[in-house]
Amino acid sequence: MTVIDILIIGAGGFIGAVIRYLLSGKFNKEGSSLPFGTLIVNIAGSLLIGIVVGLGVPKLWTLFLVSGFAGALTTFSTLFKELLQLWFGNRKRQFIGYILLTYGVGILVAFVGFIIGKAL
């Protein structure tokens, strides 16, 4: 890994983190049944990763888009924090639904993104 690689990942990560912060603030509303902001960024990141991998883009673009941007856009730490809050807040149905939506839809859109990327 070169210094250029690190800078490219960092630039993508900066943009992805800012977008995640903005989207989470807009869509994660108090009293909502699910933390939709986190769900949106995780699914969007899964789709982007699928498309980029399917396209077979050059290494530097993969570093920027997948390792940097999508890596910072998506978040497992926030997902797990929110899952714990749902579980210990006695919101078991939302807990199960959130897991199924996040992983089920995330995997599905990654596959769809890969197919789209291959077709382009």
pLDDT tens string 18-72:
999 999 889 988 878 899 999 999 999 999 999 999 999 999 999 999 999 999 9
List the structure tokens of 60.
Answer: 């530097």
| pLDDT given for residue 9 in this prediction | 98
pTM of the complete model: 0.90
Bind-site residues for Na(+): 71, 74
| pLDDT given for residue 33 in this prediction | 86
Q: Which residues constitute the domain of residue 43?
A: 3-119
Q: Would you list the DSSP string of the chain? A: --HHHHHHHHHHHHHHHHHHHHHHHHH--TT-SS-HHHHHHHHHHHHHHHHHHHHT--HHHHIIIIIIIIHHHS-HHHHHHHHHHHHHTT-HHHHHHHHIIIIIIHHHHHHHHHHHHHH-
What is the tens place of the pLDDT at every residue in 65-115? 999 999 999 998 999 999 999 999 999 999 999 999 999 999 999 999 999
Bind-site residues: 71, 74
| pLDDT given for residue 31 in this prediction | 79
Total domain count for the chain? 1
Average pLDDT over residues 3-8: 98
* CA nearest to 52, candidates 44, 61, 43: 61
